[in-house]
Amino acid sequence: MARPLSELTLSELWRLFPIQLRPYDPAWEQWYETEATHLRSAFTGDAVEITHIGSTSVPGLMAKPIVDILVETDDQRGPAAIVSALVDQGWLLMAASDDPRFRLDLNKGYTPDGFADKVFHCHVVRPGDRDEVYFRDWLRTHPRTCREYEALKRDLASKHEHDRDAYTLGKTQFIRAITGQAIAAGSSRHH
């Protein structure tokens, strides 16, 4: 019987959940739509913006088959109540920031036996914290940059298949530079 995820070391977790890139799959958009519908019910208030972000939201881009979702909310219940509502929907809290801007990172689809059929990351932020949307929109409208990003991801995945932190760190400078360009150009649109 597999050990609970909470008992695994970081190294064991990375082995269980390797970096695996896949060709773009249009089904990822439907995964997002279905999960976004469920997520809406976990939040109160009118200002809840739910957006498909990450590589699975960029047609044609290779990606880890993990759908990233950005939730911008003015929910006044506070982080603990939001986490509780999401845990009730099967989400697992991975990280919470004490930053005044407020950020929660949750996931769904990580099991003691490896990835489930559908895997999600949810990033809960205050309204206006949209860097990921700027980056996504830039990749959608700049094919050359999109191919450069894909090449970087392939290279990092081959070097760091079992080290998610190194894989993520290797993308950081590129993502920050492109996000900065996108913000300066004002390329973010609500979708």
pLDDT value at 12 more than 90:
no
Q: What is the CATH number of the domain that holds 160?
A: 3.30.460.10
14 in a structural domain: no
85 in a structural domain: yes
4 in a structural domain: no
pTM above 0.85, yes or no: yes
Residues in the chain: 191
8 in a structural domain: no
Give kind and range of the element (H or E) at residue 151.
helix 143-159
Cα dihedral value 16, 21, 27, 31, nearest 10: 40
pLDDT value at 77 more than 90:
no
User: Which residue range forms the structural domain that includes residue 43?
Assistant: 19-185
34/53 Cα distance (integer angstroms): 15
Number of structural domains in the chain:
1
147-177 tens-digit pLDDT: 999 999 999 999 999 999 999 999 999 999 9
What average pLDDT does the chain have?
Answer: 91
123 in a structural domain: yes
13 in a structural domain: no
